[in-house]
Structure 1
Amino acid sequence: MGHLRDMFNFDRRRARHRVSVERRRLLPSYIADEPQSTDSSKEIAKIALRLKYQIEQVVCCEVEENILTDPNSRLITQDVIETAKRAGGEDYKACIVYCLLVCLRWFQVQASVELWDADLHEVRAVACEVIAKRIIESEQDQDYLLKNILLKRYSIFAEGVESDPVNVIERSVDLHALRIIGSAGYQKCIQFLWCGWICQEEGNPTNFVEYEQKANASYWVHFHPDRMRTPLYQNICQIVFSLVYLAVYTAVINTVNPTGDIDVAEGVLYGMTLAFLCDEIVKFWKVGWNYLEFWNAFNSTLYGLLVISLVLRIVALAHSPSNSDTERQMYNGLSYNFLAFAGPMFWMRMMLYLDSFKFFGAMFVVLRVMMKESLIFFALLFVVLAGFFQAFIGMAQVDDDIPVTRLIIQGMANTIMQSPEFDTFQDFAYPFGIILYYVFSFVIMIVLLNILIALYNSAYEDISGNANDEYMAIFAQKTMQFVRAPDENVFIPPFNLIEILLVSAPFEWWMSKKHYAKLNDIIMGVIYSPILVLTAWIETHQAEQIRWNRRHGEEDEEDQQEWELVAEDVDFELDDSWKQEVKQSTPDIKVDNCTLEVKQLRVQVEALTELVKQLSSEKEVVVDGLS
């Protein structure tokens, strides 16, 4: 019993640890959250519990996922949606979608802890997404949807601790809730954030407000450095600076200096590398391990190679510049070798900034999932390689103690690349070496590589079948990474060196907050002026379009298409004849053919029943008359 009690306590501790880990945000959050009363957090937690109870009653057993996601689902009915809306009453009705996301996380954690009911909990998590999506899409008041449901931050009170305030937009990205992210209202909010029509309030970045000047057609109103907080403009700047970075690297690698001196192009290259490296270090320091992802590790590796190249170049410069100094030439050559070795990574780095385009974004999702699936393969590969390598090394020591470590490593590496070298192991502790190598080749080339292919195929099928939703998710994540910016003053690398060396270090520690903000606006206005010239022109034309839409009673974001222009002379509300014909011939999509036929049969049975009753009554009258 004691052993069982210990196991139970361990499972509870593990579950509590998992909940605490899940509570942390997966995306970086750099801003101080707006304080929320503990009573509100407790009430929101109760609402989440009510919704969890409702979903457990609605989905009381394992069902197919398509039964829940069907628009005419017999489980997620309109009555279920209305009941969920009433879970918070009038005072807390705006937090229902947030509470559904809380329930979604709870069910996911429960599925990982209670493996015997994992399928049931995963289906309930799907139900949370479906209900939240239908609530978002049924909301008619756009301002209420954006400001109160999607962008307002909420928190819950659990285990004596109040969770960090977070809104539905952020939480959906954190939990990778594709159905919620793919809803129309959610995507409209993301587009408004992306183009800067909704931005963080000045002085209170936890609150999102509408950009008041979006309908102002004055050019100089939009020529303001604060507009560089817009994710669209930051993304454009990053792409431009990455192209410049790539061009500078191309110029450096194609103009080798035999003397080893650092020219202007190399100085610019290493300076930009320092700026990017500082930006990565600051973000990692503020966010922690949650910031570490594939692309961060990729960029850090690239910057590490460039730092090694710079260090070797400095070591080479420390030696005599004479032609007879072989050490200077050796270090100089090593420096260029490391620089050239990073060439493929420079070009691959461009993919990081192209994921805002749909073609590249969907492809990157597939690649990212494939890389995660590869971890299983490499874990198995490492164990197999370690075992066989130890066996081959042992045979080498027994067989005349020949130092063939390099040959063994090369032969095993070639086998992984599907180019086996049987000659190397032919006379290797015969016959044990060649037999073991045959076994190794079979395990690697037949078993493990086919497992890798199967994992890649599975990942591709899972993502390609849902490519649009996956792209919208990665676009939302990219948008939120810009919105959750670490500073109110946006200095995009390599401009962050200006902030560090010329602004923060000499002025921030003694200057008042008001004057320091004014200084930042002046400096950003100068360095971003070429970009602001273009962005102000774009926003001026957008303001004219918005004003035209408002005059015609359209939404601000409305962009008329060709069929809408043609339809200006046609009003189907007045054309009753065509409207009636269409109504009569349009099938009821909510009813399948079988149900429709049953309904028709029911009508016929009822008519036949009435006819029989009528005939029976007439017969009784005739009989009474004869009698």
Structure 2
Amino acid sequence: MSEDSATLPMFQEQCLAGHGDPTMGLKPPSSRQVLRIALNLKYLLDKIIPTVYDVDKVTCPHSRIINQDVIKLVREACGGNPKDKSSVQRYQSVLLFALLKVSSWYEELAAEELHNASLYELRSLAAQHLCRVIIEHEETVDLQFLFMEMLLRRYVINENDEDSEPASVIELAADMHLTVVIGSSGFQRCLKWLWRGWIIQSRDDASVFVREKLVASTSFRDHFNPERIKTPMYQNIIQIIFSFVFLILYTVVVNDKNSTKVEPLDAKEICFYLFTLGYVIDEMVKFFYIGSAYFSFWNAFNNTLYAIIGTSVFLRIISVGPIKTHYPAEYWDMISYRILSLAAPFVWSRLLLFLESVQFVGLMLVVLKHMMAESLVFFVMLFLMMIGFLQGFIGLDSSDGKNEITGPIMTNLFITVLGAGGFDTFEEFAPPYAAILYYGYRFIVSVILLNILIALYANAYQKVVDNAGDEYMALMCQKTLRFIRAPDEEVYVPPLNIVEAFVHPTTLLLSTENARRLNHFIMTILYAPVLLVVALTEIRTARRIQYNRMKNLEDDANESDRAWDLTDGFVDTGHDIFSQTENTGIHATRKKNGVSLKKQREAEKADPHFSVPKDWCKRVKKSVQPVQEGFQSGIGWETFKLYNEVQERYEKTEEKIEKLNKTITNLVESLQELKLTKQE
């Protein structure tokens, strides 16, 4: 072994300190202590934003309002012993959580007190902006503390003498749709680690997140482990595969009906129904653990699909079952297939849910979701108008004591919304009253309501497009949380959760260790093809991680070669994939970097007049605007110097005035003493 390779870390424990520490072990503050911190922060925000400012003055990178002094006060609002780092970290770990809670309080105040809504909304935005500033600063100071304690740990706050449900900052930000916080660098980096499985749910407590110790291991056995299926990225890939299988099964079942006779259930139908059952069980389990926060547009979409398929399955079972009904079995069989055919648009559109990680598709889905939400206003107004006019037409129809044309009138009112209504129905009906009433209905629907709908859709589209980057990051945040939010010690991706349903009664009879071994064995068999690809991929990633830790860098460094940095990137030789030696690729990377630097230096020394003057870098540092000094007060450097000069003059003037006041006071006292002396 060469001298260089002998110094390389051979085991994870030899790597950079902190990488192997899964959790920092800080005791979280109590719910009452969290409340006190939140109250301190609210008091601070009330003072620094006493009135409505321009939003840009609060949220700009070098704000005069949220400056370094304010950020220091924000940190001090958490308390703790300043001489004890663990004490300070214990209470500052809840800082982001408390700020988001304060932001939610201001949102509630804005909804209740409309006369001060703009002020409360600005304070709420200021709390979110403080979160972003603290996250981005902490990312450069202590990544471990930021991820494990500030973002991922679940905290409880006491509100109105009741403890809230435990929640993490990532969950709160996603539920409140705080794109300001979600779009911060450290927040996105934490999500990336969660997505890749570098931070996972604890095997002892699925509600707690820990660092995955084996990401830097180059052992094939360590990565060929069904525990790695907890990784959201791998779950997403498996779900995409199963979605295509589900689509193929649906296509075969719905288009295979070629007989008027009722045929018994076959293998492909049973597989299709089991797939659907697995998805339904998964929805129910996640809704049970997460609650209303799990419900979204896509859940409503999926539940509609499952309801259609479930109705079709029920009728299909009636058709093949022994129970006799008023209608023959052929009738129920035909209705079952017709209802199943209605699910086709949902089955195909459902693929978009798994392709939303592509930015363009994801943004279009966000636009669609906003459009559906905005269209609720239109449909409420349309329903009221339709009911009102329908009652008028029914009154006209029954005025002669007969109800003869009510059915055609209702049909015409509905198809008018789609632009297919006509005046033929009303030519001979209660002239001229019916025609006048229909003219009014047609005008309101076609000219007013439909244009309102178009305006709402345009507004929803523009709102998303104007904030496209943050909206996409918020979408991916919600997607990641869908995989990890519901605690699941043994991950059976639907429809494999049906296997878990059969295995679970058996595990109840076994000890915890034996039950875990049984699940591990079953999952290894089920996921074997996927685990093979996962292991081969992660071994290559582990070698790069080992290289980064050797250079005292974070695990996600050197992922790509940058043109402006000749020493970054990692050379993966691709050889000895099953080798447990961490040195594979490290020597190749060092060699590549050395050759690149050598060629660059030779090219620069080819012309002795090419290099810039030696003092050029120093002059650059002196000539640029000192941003940090400007940030201290939130203003430009020249204005900052002028402000200091004026402040100094003001202080000197104050001193002179104070001295003059003292002199006058002394003279008055002297005069009073002289006056008393004369009187005596």
Q: Does 1:70 align with 2:69?
A: no
Q: For 1:22-421, what aligned pairs fall within 5 Å after superposition?
A: 40-90=30-80, 91=87, 92-139=91-138, 140-258=141-259, 259-261=261-263, 262-318=265-321, 327-399=328-400, 401-421=402-422
User: In the TM superposition, what is the alpha-carbon distance from 1:435 to its structure 2 partner?
Assistant: 0.5
Alignment-mate amino acid for residue 500 of structure 2: E
Q: Is the 8 A contact 1:239 1:353 kept in 2?
A: yes
User: Counterpart of 1:427 in 2: which secondary structure?
Assistant: coil
RMSD value, Cα: 3.0
Query: Residues 533 and 230 (structure 1 numbering): CA distance in 2 closer, same or farther, change over 3 Å?
Result: same
Alignment-mate amino acid for residue 154 of structure 1: Y
Query: Residues 585 and 260 (structure 1 numbering): CA distance in 2 closer, same or farther, change over 3 Å?
Result: farther
Task: Quote the Cα distance in structure 1 between the aligned partners of 2:448 and 2:200.
Answer: 53
Q: Is the 8 A contact 2:175 2:293 kept in 1?
A: no
Query: Residues 525 and 604 (structure 1 numbering): CA distance in 2 closer, same or farther, change over 3 Å?
Result: closer
User: Counterpart of 1:205 in 2: which secondary structure?
Assistant: coil
Task: Specify which of 597, 610, 617 is matched with residue 579 of structure 1.
Answer: 617
Alignment-mate amino acid for residue 101 of structure 2: V
User: In the TM superposition, what is the alpha-carbon distance from 1:55 to its structure 2 partner?
Assistant: 0.5
Q: Is the 8 A contact 2:226 2:524 kept in 1?
A: yes
Query: Residues 70 and 173 (structure 1 numbering): CA distance in 2 closer, same or farther, change over 3 Å?
Result: same
Q: Does 1:504 align with 2:542?
A: no
State which drifts further: 263-272 or 188-197. 263-272
User: Counterpart of 2:30 in 1: which secondary structure?
Assistant: helix
User: In the TM superposition, what is the alpha-carbon distance from 1:229 to its structure 2 partner?
Assistant: 0.8
User: Counterpart of 1:185 in 2: which secondary structure?
Assistant: helix
Task: Quote the Cα distance in structure 2 between the aligned partners of 1:336 and 1:479.
Answer: 36
Alignment-mate amino acid for residue 425 of structure 2: T
Alignment-mate amino acid for residue 302 of structure 2: N
Alignment-mate amino acid for residue 220 of structure 1: R
Alignment-mate amino acid for residue 316 of structure 2: R
Q: For 1:419-430, what aligned pairs fall within 5 Å after superposition?
A: 419-430=420-431
Residue 560 (structure 2) aligns with: 560
User: In the TM superposition, what is the alpha-carbon distance from 1:314 to its structure 2 partner?
Assistant: 2.6
Alignment-mate amino acid for residue 521 of structure 2: I
Alignment-mate amino acid for residue 295 of structure 2: L
Alignment-mate amino acid for residue 105 of structure 2: W
User: In the TM superposition, what is the alpha-carbon distance from 1:600 to its structure 2 partner?
Assistant: 9.5
Alignment-mate amino acid for residue 434 of structure 1: A
Task: Quote the Cα distance in structure 1 between the aligned partners of 2:329 and 2:562.
Answer: 68
User: In the TM superposition, what is the alpha-carbon distance from 1:582 to its structure 2 partner?
Assistant: 3.9
Task: Quote the Cα distance in structure 2 between the aligned partners of 1:602 and 1:89.
Answer: 33
User: In the TM superposition, what is the alpha-carbon distance from 1:227 to its structure 2 partner?
Assistant: 0.8
Q: Is the 8 A contact 1:320 1:328 kept in 2?
A: no
Query: Residues 386 and 268 (structure 1 numbering): CA distance in 2 closer, same or farther, change over 3 Å?
Result: same
Q: Is the 8 A contact 2:290 2:485 kept in 1?
A: no
Task: Quote the Cα distance in structure 1 between the aligned partners of 2:613 and 2:192.
Answer: 36
Query: Residues 206 and 284 (structure 1 numbering): CA distance in 2 closer, same or farther, change over 3 Å?
Result: closer
Deviations 1:53-91 (A, max 9, x none): 110111111122222111121111111111111111343
Alignment-mate amino acid for residue 307 of structure 2: G
Task: Quote the Cα distance in structure 2 between the aligned partners of 1:317 and 1:125.
Answer: 60
Structure 1 gaps of 5+ residues are: 1-33, 606-627
Q: Is the 8 A contact 2:99 2:127 kept in 1?
A: yes
User: Counterpart of 2:424 in 1: which secondary structure?
Assistant: coil
Task: Quote the Cα distance in structure 1 between the aligned partners of 2:155 and 2:613.
Answer: 49
User: Counterpart of 2:208 in 1: which secondary structure?
Assistant: strand
Q: Is the 8 A contact 2:290 2:486 kept in 1?
A: no
Deviations 1:266-323 (A, max 9, x none): 22212211221222233334444444332222212211211222222233334899xx
Task: Quote the Cα distance in structure 2 between the aligned partners of 1:256 and 1:189.
Answer: 50
User: In the TM superposition, what is the alpha-carbon distance from 1:588 to its structure 2 partner?
Assistant: 5.9
User: Counterpart of 2:555 in 1: which secondary structure?
Assistant: coil
User: In the TM superposition, what is the alpha-carbon distance from 1:254 to its structure 2 partner?
Assistant: 2.5
Task: Quote the Cα distance in structure 2 between the aligned partners of 1:512 and 1:110.
Answer: 52
Q: Does 1:529 align with 2:528?
A: yes
Residue 491 (structure 2) aligns with: 490
Task: Quote the Cα distance in structure 2 between the aligned partners of 1:515 and 1:387.
Answer: 67
Q: Is the 8 A contact 1:427 1:434 kept in 2?
A: no
Query: Residues 231 and 462 (structure 1 numbering): CA distance in 2 closer, same or farther, change over 3 Å?
Result: same
Deviations 1:550-572 (A, max 9, x none): 33443211113231454663799
Query: Residues 152 and 291 (structure 1 numbering): CA distance in 2 closer, same or farther, change over 3 Å?
Result: closer
| TM-score normalised by length of structure 1 | 0.84
Q: Is the 8 A contact 2:206 2:487 kept in 1?
A: no
User: Counterpart of 1:419 in 2: which secondary structure?
Assistant: coil
User: In the TM superposition, what is the alpha-carbon distance from 1:327 to its structure 2 partner?
Assistant: 3.2
Query: Residues 281 and 44 (structure 1 numbering): CA distance in 2 closer, same or farther, change over 3 Å?
Result: closer
Task: Quote the Cα distance in structure 1 between the aligned partners of 2:344 and 2:640.
Answer: 70
Structure 2 gaps of 5+ residues are: 1-24, 81-86, 568-592, 605-610, 647-680
Task: Quote the Cα distance in structure 2 between the aligned partners of 1:350 and 1:254.
Answer: 20
Deviations 1:16-56 (A, max 9, x none): xxxxxxxxxxxxxxxxxx9988x722222111111101101
Deviations 1:539-589 (A, max 9, x none): 111101111223344321111323145466379999844424544664566
Residue 432 (structure 2) aligns with: 431
User: In the TM superposition, what is the alpha-carbon distance from 1:497 to its structure 2 partner?
Assistant: 0.9
State which drifts further: 175-184 or 573-582. 573-582
Q: Is the 8 A contact 1:279 1:496 kept in 2?
A: yes
User: Counterpart of 1:189 in 2: which secondary structure?
Assistant: helix
Q: Is the 8 A contact 1:399 1:428 kept in 2?
A: no
Deviations 1:436-466 (A, max 9, x none): 0010011111111111111111111111111
Query: Residues 428 and 225 (structure 1 numbering): CA distance in 2 closer, same or farther, change over 3 Å?
Result: same
Residue 654 (structure 2) aligns with: none
Q: Is the 8 A contact 2:152 2:170 kept in 1?
A: yes
Q: Is the 8 A contact 1:260 1:313 kept in 2?
A: no
User: Counterpart of 1:179 in 2: which secondary structure?
Assistant: helix
User: Counterpart of 1:209 in 2: which secondary structure?
Assistant: strand
User: In the TM superposition, what is the alpha-carbon distance from 1:596 to its structure 2 partner?
Assistant: 6.7
Task: Quote the Cα distance in structure 2 between the aligned partners of 1:162 and 1:537.
Answer: 46
Give the paired residue count.
565
Alignment-mate amino acid for residue 508 of structure 1: T
Query: Residues 553 and 508 (structure 1 numbering): CA distance in 2 closer, same or farther, change over 3 Å?
Result: closer
Query: Residues 598 and 74 (structure 1 numbering): CA distance in 2 closer, same or farther, change over 3 Å?
Result: closer
Alignment-mate amino acid for residue 134 of structure 1: V
Task: Quote the Cα distance in structure 2 between the aligned partners of 1:288 and 1:87.
Answer: 32
Residue 5 (structure 1) aligns with: none
Query: Residues 574 and 162 (structure 1 numbering): CA distance in 2 closer, same or farther, change over 3 Å?
Result: farther
Alignment-mate amino acid for residue 531 of structure 2: L
Query: Residues 148 and 311 (structure 1 numbering): CA distance in 2 closer, same or farther, change over 3 Å?
Result: closer
Q: Is the 8 A contact 1:219 1:540 kept in 2?
A: yes
Residue 11 (structure 1) aligns with: none
State which drifts further: 332-341 or 285-294. 285-294
Q: Is the 8 A contact 2:155 2:168 kept in 1?
A: yes
Alignment-mate amino acid for residue 117 of structure 2: A
Task: Quote the Cα distance in structure 1 between the aligned partners of 2:532 and 2:439.
Answer: 67
User: Counterpart of 2:201 in 1: which secondary structure?
Assistant: strand
Q: Is the 8 A contact 2:289 2:486 kept in 1?
A: no
| TM-score normalised by length of structure 2 | 0.78
